[in-house]
Amino acid sequence: MADTLPTLLLAEHDDASLNPVTARALTAALALGAPVHVLVAGENAQAAAQAAARLDGVAEVLLADGPAYAHRLAEPVAALGVALAPAYGALVAPSTAFGKSVMPRIAALIDVMQVSDVIAVIAPDTFDRPIYAGNALQRVRATDATKVLTIRTASFAAAGEGNAAPIRAVADAAPAGGASFLGEEIAASARPDLSAARIIVSGGRALGSAENFHAIVEPLADALGAAVGASRAAVDAGYAPNDWQVGQTGKVVAPDLYVALGISGAIQHLAGMKDSKVIVAINKDEDAPIFQVADYGLVGDLFEIVPALQAEIAKAKA
Amino acid sequence: MKILVPVKRVVDYNVKIRVKADGSGVELANIKMSMNPFDEIAVEEALRLKEAGKASEVIAVSIGPVKTDETIRTALAMGADRGIWVKTEEAGIEPLTVAKLLKAIIAAEGPSLVILGKQAIDDDCNQTGQMLAALLGWPQATFASKIVVGEGTVDVTREIDGGLQTLRLALPAVLTTDLRLNEPRYASLPNIMKAKKKPIEEKSAAELGVDVAPRLEILSTSEPSGRTGGIKLASAAELVAHLKTAGVL
Ligand SMILES: Cc1cc2nc3c(=O)[nH]c(=O)nc-3n(C[C@H](O)[C@H](O)[C@H](O)COP(=O)(O)OP(=O)(O)OC[C@H]3O[C@@H](n4cnc5c(N)ncnc54)[C@H](O)[C@@H]3O)c2cc1C
Q: pLDDT for B154-201, tens place per residue?
A: 999 999 998 999 999 999 999 999 999 999 999 999 999 999 999 999
Average pLDDT estimate for A97-117: 98
Q: What is the pLDDT of residues A213-237, one digit of tens each?
A: 999 999 999 999 999 999 999 999 9
Measured distance between the N- and C-terminal CA atoms of chain B, rounded to whole angstroms: 57
CB pairs under 8 A between A and B: 251
Q: Which is nearest to B25 in space by CA: A269, A140, A113, A55? A: A140
Cis peptide before B172 (omega within 30 of 0): yes
Non-local (6+) Cβ contacts of A120 within 8 A are A127, A128, A155
pLDDT at A267: 94
- Residue A187's pLDDT band (cuts 50, 70, 90): confident
- DSSP type of residue A95: S
In terms of CA atoms, which chain B residue is nearest residue A291?
B229
DSSP string, A245-282: BBSTTSB----SEEEEES----HHHHTTTTT-SEEEEE
pLDDT at A1 > cutoff 70: no
Chain A partners within 8 Å of B122 (Cβ): 131-132
Question: A235 C-alpha vs ligand 1 centroid, how far in Å?
Answer: 10
- The DSSP 8-state label assigned to residue B205 in this structure reads T
Q: Is the ipTM of this complex over 0.85?
A: yes
Contact check, Cβ <8 Å, A178/B141: no
Average pLDDT over residues A242-255: 95
CA dist B77 and A208 (Å) reads 35
Are β-strands A257-261 and A278-283 bridged in parallel, bridged antiparallel, or unpaired?
Answer: parallel
pTM of the entire structure? 0.96
* CA dihedral sign, ordered B120, B123, B127, B132: negative
Q: Is the pLDDT of residue B209 over 50?
A: yes
Contact A116, A174 (CB under 8 A): no
Domains recognised in chain B with CATH numbers: 2-224 (3.40.50.620)
pLDDT at site A81: 98
- Average pLDDT over every residue of A245-266: 96
Give mean pLDDT, residues A63-83.
97
On whether the CB atoms of residues B215 and B94 are closer than 8 A, the answer is yes
pLDDT at A3: 53
Residues in chain A with CB shorter than 8 Å from the CB of B125 are 114, 116
- In A15-54, the residues whose Cβ lies within 8 Å of chain B are none
Q: Is pLDDT at A2 greater than 60 in this prediction?
A: no
Check whether B56 has a pLDDT greater than 90. yes
Straight-line distance from the first to the last Cα atom of chain A, in angstroms, rounded to the nearest whole number: 61
Residue A173 is predicted with a pLDDT of 85
What's the Cα-to-Cα distance from B90 to each of B64, B87, B216, rounded to whole Å?
A: 7, 9, 15
Could you tell me if A27 and A118 are in contact, meaning their C-beta atoms sit under 8 angstroms apart? no
> Tens digits of per-residue pLDDT, A286-300?
999 999 999 999 999
Residue A81 sits at the chain B interface (C-beta within 8 Å): no
Distance B14 CA to ligand 1 centre (A): 13
Between the alpha carbon of residue A31 and those of residues A34, A60, A90, A112, B79, the distances in Å are 8, 17, 12, 20, 49
Query: Do B131 and B6 contact (CB within 8 A), yes or no?
Result: no
Where do the domains of chain A lie, and which CATH numbers do they carry? 2-169 (3.40.50.620), 194-317 (3.40.50.1220)
